């Protein structure tokens, strides 16, 4: 029976939380312009840059952003929340006397943007009175162009009724599995239109589309309960990606794993060879490679909030730190198809880059912006930025954010089955669970969603209460087998926090399955 708008309204009335912000309501309130053209935006950017130069800026850049985000959550046969919001405005950054200043406004008139440009220049002067080192920017070519995420169907143009109907169908299929009591599913969707210009002559327009589906089921029985969350990777793709996941058709299979976990045997603590699937390993890559290779962490600029890095100081690490064995190659990449951090240019107008962070086990380079590249070029020999500047909104200042960072597959097409067959005593760890890592990204503990014991090259049964502990260099130097290109999978996070005030960016991490020798496993069970 088709799901109708009447059904939607009836379900939403029973929801515990429902917030709908209509774009039409926003327009009526005056928060957004009724129309938005590139010509008008070009005029506003020119006015802002002109005012900045008149106020003494030796460099300035401006971003106009228009964002529409939508979130839908469901539980069993109820909608738990719907939000649909838009945001529009301009941010401008200036250098005066070698110091940064930043200001932003939603007053999108010539006078409004000129005023905020003068404010940014004033803040630059204030910063210059206490700043010890003058800002220098690595050179980058002047570019003009447009780009958008390749999609067949914009997910924000799909009706909310159709989205809810799909989620309810998935929930209903999962609830038919004996033992399943609770089911949650949802969608995060974003469309971002960003225009950028600077006083060097660069001018770009980009449109980004991102989708983030979710699903989890809880089974009750045997005097307890178990939850299983399927790792549905968020992507820089359109609605066609969500449809390709076939959530209604796969929900029963995913839910059955929660039921299977009810009968799993609790793990015996000790050292095991771990076979970690890409659905779990991407997060370990994010935390133990992605974050410590951020140059601002290594230089101490994030110490107050998000932490520092064990890969410091840079001059003692580049080309010297043995991150792992020669089979370990880590790629930074803002060009990867379907990835969340894909773009044509970053928020400084630098062309999207792809480069080796770790090459044959040796640490080679950090993630950089134009300012950072200028600072570190004498150590790396790389005189250009890797294009890692990003701001999550028009009213946020851009700074160094993580690109897509991935473990490259083996040149031989090793499969997951090959790794299992070569393992005498081990544990397979599947999907993302809880995690904890220290401020230097050195000591860590990760868990998963499903675990399987391996004995004599064969899977012998399901385990539970598994978490693995290590230090970053020891862990990656214990990796002795990785899958080939056919086993490579792209995971990632729709939201990764950093900075003060806090910002969130989206980032993908790809990898094949991999084996790690003799890793410490602890039992996380709460039974007495």
Phi then psi for 180, rounded to 5 degrees? -80, 125
Q: Mark whether 9 and 126 lie in a shared domain.
A: yes
Q: Mark whether 229 and 295 lie in a shared domain.
A: no
In a domain, 432, yes or no: yes
The answer for residues whose C-beta is within 8 angstroms of residue 235's C-beta and 6 or more apart is 210, 211, 241, 338, 339, 340, 490, 492, 508
> Distance between CA 76 and CA 274 in Å, rounded?
35
Q: Mark whether 67 and 154 lie in a shared domain.
A: yes
Q: Residue 30 — left, alpha, or beta (φ > 0 → left; ψ -120 to 50 → alpha)?
A: left
Q: Please report how many Cα atoms fall inside a 13 Å half-sphere around the Cα of residue 445, on the Cβ side.
A: 10
Place of tokens 């700074």: 399
Phi then psi for 138, rounded to 5 degrees? -65, 145
pLDDT block averages, 10 residues each, the chain of length 528 = 46 37 33 56 96 98 97 98 97 97 97 98 95 93 97 97 98 98 98 98 98 98 93 98 98 98 96 98 98 96 91 95 98 98 98 98 97 91 95 97 98 96 98 96 97 98 97 98 98 94 96 98 80
What are the tens digits of pLDDT across the range 127-171?
Answer: 999 988 899 999 999 999 999 999 999 999 999 999 999 999 999
Nearest Cα to Cα of residue 203 among 1, 75, 345: 345
Q: Mark whether 177 and 228 lie in a shared domain.
A: yes
| CA dihedral (432, 435, 438, 442) positive or negative | negative
Q: Where are the beta strands (DSSP E) in 199-343?
A: 203-221, 224-230, 265-266, 270-276, 330-333
In a domain, 399, yes or no: yes
> Distance between CA 461 and CA 452 in Å, rounded?
6
Q: Mark whether 50 and 159 lie in a shared domain.
A: yes
> Distance between CA 386 and CA 369 in Å, rounded?
6
Q: Mark whether 247 and 222 lie in a shared domain.
A: yes
What pLDDT sits at residue 21? 33
What pLDDT sits at residue 306? 84
Q: Mark whether 316 and 247 lie in a shared domain.
A: no
Phi then psi for 8, rounded to 5 degrees? -60, -50
Q: Mark whether 318 and 233 lie in a shared domain.
A: no
Structure token digits, residue 237? 């793709």
Q: Mark whether 233 and 294 lie in a shared domain.
A: no
What pLDDT sits at residue 38? 66
Q: How far is CA 62 from CA 59, 101, 343, 383, 498, in A?
A: 11, 12, 18, 24, 22
Nearest Cα to Cα of residue 485 among 429, 421, 407, 428: 407
Count up the domains in the chain and report the number. 2
In a domain, 528, yes or no: no
Q: Mark whether 488 and 346 lie in a shared domain.
A: yes
> Distance between CA 38 and CA 29 in Å, rounded?
23
> Distance between CA 297 and CA 277 in Å, rounded?
28
Domain that holds residue 458: 266-523
Structure token digits, residue 262? 């009810």
- The residue out of 232, 262, 292 marking a domain boundary is 262
**Cis bond leading into 160, ω under 30°?**
no
- The residue out of 262, 277, 311 marking a domain boundary is 262
What pLDDT sits at residue 1? 41
In a domain, 39, yes or no: yes
In a domain, 475, yes or no: yes
Phi then psi for 164, rounded to 5 degrees? -65, -40
- The residue out of 241, 262, 283 marking a domain boundary is 262
In a domain, 27, yes or no: yes
- Exposed e or buried b for every residue in 25-63, given b needs 16+ CB within 10 A? ebeeeebbeeeeeeeebeebbebbbbbbbebebebbbbb
H/E stretch holding 162 reads helix 160-175
Q: Mark whether 20 and 60 lie in a shared domain.
A: yes
- Domain at 73, CATH number: 3.30.2290.10
- Exposed e or buried b for every residue in 208-243, given b needs 16+ CB within 10 A? bbbbbbbbbbbbeeeeeebebbbbbbbbbbbbebbe
What pLDDT sits at residue 19? 33
- 179 DSSP 8-state letter: T
Q: Mark whether 470 and 410 lie in a shared domain.
A: yes
H/E stretch holding 281 reads helix 278-285
Is residue 312 within 8 Å of 363, Cβ to Cβ?
no
What pLDDT sits at residue 217? 98
């Amino acid at each position: 029976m088709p799901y109708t708008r009447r059904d939607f309204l009836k379900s939403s009335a029973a929801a515990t939380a429902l917030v709908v912000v209509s774009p039409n309501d926003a327009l009526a309130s005056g928060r957004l312009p009724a129309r938005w053209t590139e010509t008008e935006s070009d005029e506003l950017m020119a006015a802002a840059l002109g005012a900045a130069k008149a106020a003494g800026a030796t460099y300035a850049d401006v971003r106009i952003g228009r964002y529409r985000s939508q979130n839908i959550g469901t539980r069993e046969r109820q909608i738990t929340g719907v939000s649909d919001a838009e945001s529009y405005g301009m941010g401008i950054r200036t250098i005066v006397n070698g110091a940064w200043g930043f200001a932003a406004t939603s007053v999108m008139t010539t006078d409004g943007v000129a005023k905020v440009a003068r404010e940014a220049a004033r803040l630059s002067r204030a910063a210059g009175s206490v700043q010890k080192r003058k800002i220098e920017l690595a050179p980058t070519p002047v570019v003009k162009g447009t780009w958008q995420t390749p999609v067949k169907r914009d997910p924000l143009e799909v009706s909310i009724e159709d989205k809810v109907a799909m989620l309810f169908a998935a929930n209903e299929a999962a609830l038919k599995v004996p033992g399943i009591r609770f089911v949650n599913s949802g969608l995060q969707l974003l469309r971002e239109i960003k225009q950028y210009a600077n006083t060097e002559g660069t001018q770009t327009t980009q449109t980004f589309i991102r989708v983030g589906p979710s699903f989890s089921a809880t089974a009750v029985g045997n005097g307890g309960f178990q939850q299983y969350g399927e790792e549905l990777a968020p992507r820089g793709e359109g609605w066609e990606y969500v449809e390709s996941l076939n959530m209604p058709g796969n929900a029963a299979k995913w839910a059955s794993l929660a039921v299977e976990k009810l009968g799993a045997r609790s793990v015996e603590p000790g050292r095991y060879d771990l076979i970690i699937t890409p659905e779990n390993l991407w997060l370990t890559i994010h935390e133990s490679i992605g974050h410590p290779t951020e140059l601002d962490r290594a230089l101490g600029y994030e110490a107050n909030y998000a932490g520092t890095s064990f890969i410091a100081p840079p001059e003692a690490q580049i080309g010297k730190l043995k991150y792992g064995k020669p089979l370990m190659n880590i790629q930074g990449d803002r060009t990867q198809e379907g990835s969340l951090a894909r773009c044509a240019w970053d928020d400084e107008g630098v062309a999207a880059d792809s480069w080796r962070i770790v090459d044959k086990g040796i640490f080679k380079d950090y993630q950089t912006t134009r300012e950072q590249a200028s600072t570190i070029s004498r150590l790396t020999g790389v005189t250009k930025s890797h294009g890692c500047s990003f701001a999550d909104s028009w009213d946020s200042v851009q700074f160094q954010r993580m690109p897509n960072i991935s473990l490259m597959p083996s040149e031989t097409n090793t499969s997951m089955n090959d790794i299992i067959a070569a393992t005498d005593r081990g544990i397979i760890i599947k999907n993302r669970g809880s995690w904890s890592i220290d401020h230097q990204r050195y000591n860590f503990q990760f868990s998963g969603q499903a675990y399987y014991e391996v004995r004599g090259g064969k899977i012998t049964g399901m385990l539970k209460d598994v978490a693995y502990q290590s230090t970053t260099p020891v862990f990656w130097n214990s990796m002795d087998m990785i899958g080939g290109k056919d086993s490579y999978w792209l995971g990632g996070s729709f939201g990764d926090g950093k900075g003060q005030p806090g910002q969130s960016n989206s980032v993908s991490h790809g990898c094949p399955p991999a084996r790690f020798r003799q890793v410490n496993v602890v039992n996380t069970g709460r039974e007495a």
